[in-house]
Amino acid sequence: GTIWNHRVRFLEDRVLSSWTSFTIWNAGKQGKKLYRSLSSANRKKVTAFCDVDEKKITKGFYTYEESEERPKPKIPVCHFRDATPPFIICVKLDLTGGAFETNLNMLNLKEGMDFYHFS
């Protein structure tokens, strides 16, 4: 919808414009939706998706099927502990029962600098 697109443009202007590369935290539906919504310049800055879901991590990568590029871009999927900040976090905080916050705190990151919430 339109609100989603406005929020993505805001994210691109305010945050991604000053980042040279970043990781999307969530290799599921929300993370992939964000990836597909980015401008091609910002899509190229995505070095990886990270997650806690072993199934997604085992698969190893996400192929951007809609891409016009050949070969199609393949974005690695790794465990959050192996990922490189900064992160765009697409995790709905109320769904994890505090587990997500615990994981995030482990990494000692600064909000606004090392990560930004987008959910």
The reply to whether 53 falls in a domain is: yes
Q: Give the list of residues 6+ apart from residue 106 with CB closer than 8 angstroms, or none.
A: 81
The reply to whether 119 falls in a domain is: no
Confidence of residue 64 (pLDDT cuts 50, 70, 90): very high
* Domains: count for the chain: 1
pLDDT tens figures, 66-105:
999 999 999 999 999 999 999 999 987 776 778 888 888 8
Specify whether the CB–CB gap between 16 and 76 falls below 8 A: no
Determine what percent of the chain falls in helix, strand and coil, rounding each to the nearest 5. Answer: 40, 20, 35
Give me the domain span that covers residue 24.
2-113
* Strands (E) located in 1-118: 22-25, 46-51, 61-63, 74-79, 87-89, 115-117
* Separation CA 100–CA 80 (nearest Å): 11
What is the model's pTM? Answer: 0.93
Distance in Å from the first CA to the final CA of the chain: 14
**pLDDT average, residue stretch 14-18:** 96
Per-residue CA distances from 86 to 20, 59, 72 (Å): 10, 23, 24
